[in-house]
A and B are shown apart, each in its own frame.
Chain A
Amino acid sequence: MSRNGPFALIFHTLFIAFIVAPIVIVCIVAFTPEGYLSLPTKGLSLRWFRAIADYPEFVRAFRDSLWLAALSSTIAVLFAVPAALAIARHRFIGREAMLAFFMSPLMIPHVVLGIAFLRFFTTIGIGGTFIGLVLSHIVIVMPFALRLVLAASIGMDRTVEHAAISLGAGPVTVFRRVTLPLILPGVVSGWVLAFITSFDEVTMTVFIASPSTITLPVRMFLYIQDNIDPLVTSVSAALIFLTVIVMVMLDRFFGLDRLFIGASR
């Protein structure tokens, strides 16, 4: 790292310390053997990780979060693929407006979306249901799915499709055998980013969750509002470990920087 001077490296070290400090502290405190929040100075203990099993509400919330994220990102991708192909391949009046409309959930504060969905769902009678959660999460993950599928569709070489058509393939065959495989990296990374976005969402979900259908981040948030103890710390640490494992896998398959830069454009 010869190109950075000593000041740059000191700055960099402080920056990295700032970034990892709160994450590392959660992981350390979670191993405390004491009954209260403390640094584990007298040895490490797994008692607070074992204690999670005695609180089925966290386990249930985790399971519901996984289902919610998987369902909403899959449905969002199913809607996003044809929409992305339409925007990537056709020039029509209202194209820009259509794209802006699909991207709008990124611009609207999630508090506003939460309030809007709470009002809407209670009015039509699906307040506090899992269906409501899925519908609302489809909306917030759609921009991520659409953006990555769109990038893949624009970059795709269409001569392969034309070759397939000239060899007599019908539209369904062309899509299934040629188009889909070519845009698949975009579809998969769009789905992954949508899944993570849905899984981590708390601001909007806190408005529309109910005691019977609640996600893990909302469950943790409500718990922390009452009190901060080693239990919620170990739940957070477990979630951090899980995320890091997923992150390492994603970095292997996609390159994390590509996923992020693709998403931020």
Chain B
Amino acid sequence: MNITIKCFASLSRFTPPDAEAYPVEAGLTVAGLIDLLGIPEEDIKLVFVNGSHVERSVSLAEGDRVGLFPAVGGG
């Protein structure tokens, strides 16, 4: 199945080239995805799936839109 991935701010360098249709195994969790992308777990502070904040134990489904957000505090 395919999902889409959006890595914000300092995480953008982890964006895979096929982020718009990123192939993953069915049942993959958010934590598993973070591992696959090679992002240090502590660098991600908020995860959104289809526009809602979720825990990392959530399993992903076909077509899910995943947003990964780091700590951002500049002003």
Note whether A and B form a binding pair: no
